[in-house]
Amino acid sequence: MPTPTSLIMGKMIITMTLSERMPSVTTASYAEAKTVVFWDVDECPIPEDLDPQSVYQNIRTALANKGYHGEVTIMAFGDRNQIPGYYESAGIQIFPKGDKYERIGQMQLEFFGWMRDNSCEYTNMMVVTRSAMELVSYLEYRNTHHNILFANPLYPQTKACGCKFGARQEDPSAETWVWETLALGGDPSIRTVEEPCRYREEGGGDVK
């Protein structure tokens, strides 16, 4: 599957390392830092009976409840058939991209742009998409001031072997929410240790 050109370009701009996990607690620096949310509205749609305004307020509430009290900016990606002004009226910037790779490519560009523009500041960066690990797998995290947060849908995308995408990579996030819970202003999920992904070779047994 081809790698979006924007992802390749982005990796040339900033180098980080996945081997170093982001902070697991809300330090004073991150508690008052501004937060940006990269929201894939196609893979994490607005729950029934909610709208962009209520989702925006609920995300702010969820962050505040975990100790993140800084300014919150939300960028949404997808929903090409939106009503004009539907997201903007809630203070959400919308990028009406089409298929998955266009959305990820645009998210990656904005991701790197935020890091570049805030290279000397502590910030929180929340990625809301079914493809969160796929998005950040092109990055190498090292010596940054950015705290990574994830929100995934209740039923993550799986591979043929039944494991989650990104299961063979270390999760770099400090906190991870279930999207349907985050959209209602709820708390992040409790981390659990998952069984390593195993693949079956044709004519052979299971291998890691």
Contacts of 189 (CB under 8 A, 6+ apart): 176, 177, 178, 181
Is 23 a member of any domain?
A: no
Predicted model pTM: 0.74
Is 16 a member of any domain?
A: no
Is 92 a member of any domain?
A: yes
Residue 185 has pLDDT above 80, yes or no: yes
**CB 156, CB 134: distance < 8 Å:** no
Query: What CATH number did the domain enclosing 131 receive?
Result: 3.40.50
Is 18 a member of any domain?
A: no
- The model's pLDDT over 115-159, given as tens digits with 9 standing for 90+, comes to 889 988 999 999 998 877 666 655 555 446 888 899 989 875 554
Domain count, the chain: 1
Is 39 a member of any domain?
A: yes
Structural domain containing residue 85: 35-155+172-183
Give the confidence band of 201 by pLDDT, cuts at 50, 70, 90: very low
